[in-house]
Structure 1
């Protein structure tokens, strides 16, 4: 059931996620998925579809934030467009295949995958792990295959691919600023393809659910997209006055707590 209290909650959630996205340069999917899953259960959605709705709606919300981030990094010349063009075909294919698979997988298994993946992201944040750089040149086939994997995992965990893309480009001897900028550009096709995939594959499953378009919950998408777009610039301004390393650790802890909560709820 939808009422004004839920709309206010989604606006507040969008403001928080947008602020954190601007502050830390992340897409916010790691925060949105477990929160969406809990909220959708309270709203009365079927337990069999809440994780799929959470994933699809999170990716839809990331379209606007990804576009904004892409524009900002492109303006600063930090996007490696040859890498984006090489990885995009694999990303689109991987994300679309993953959404088709996800629509036929039990919510509990997807919740487990999400929790484990976010645990990996949190661990990498704490230990600052990076693979040893490779001296082999980038190839078109290598970019397509890496895009395939990044697109698939990102669609299953509703993340923009930033973590995986930055790690991959670091492995290919790309400096961190260009890695982050290129990652922001790659997050845009992931968000669009994942959203379309969850719309199509969730159409039959949510026909009787109000305010849904496939596995996209429209009120949450609209409220969070608008409020996060407003709050993100404030987070970006604050990021220059706060220690990034400590903030990322706090963000990782929050993601871990929320992910564990979702995992326990579906165990």
Structure 2
């Protein structure tokens, strides 16, 4: 099945105005965009802009602080943006446990939100960085605990952050195929001092997409979302990345 390319709008945060970028993404062939928290002061306005250019936002990053402030407001945002999957994107350094019991508590909290999100007809996922892949004192990984608490907690697998965490993304995809609802397709430059924090346009870095793409396809990944944390040229990143994704 052909991939319907998406793009995480965080990648274009330094290239306003948003409406111009959405227009360009639609012209390039993107069909989905993934909003993030800083774009949500006016969810209705954001939803209108996305629709204006024939795009959809089936996924979005919504910070854990918003969930903690009140699930009802989170679900209102989700309804306004017509989200299918709500993705918790990050855990601040000060909130990251150093041991297994701490991560089990975080996992239980996330599982509780997943139940409420499911009751509203939507799904909840966790987006990883590198720290979820790092060993805890007993040898386990935070990501294992996050996914162990409840089957309703899904995963948006950021393959490049898995690599930066010292792990093989293909191995992790094969371990949790039924949990991967979305993937951040992101690449890593062989030059960490490239002026873009060592990231690369999709297909222009070191990741082995010949292994990763079949693994994601076999896992039934629904949403394929290009991301670059610090592109120096947003249009270049979007244009080159979608060509790579379309070649898959």
TM-score normalised over the length of structure 1: 0.26
Higher helix share: 1
TM-score normalised over the length of structure 2: 0.28
Higher strand share: 2
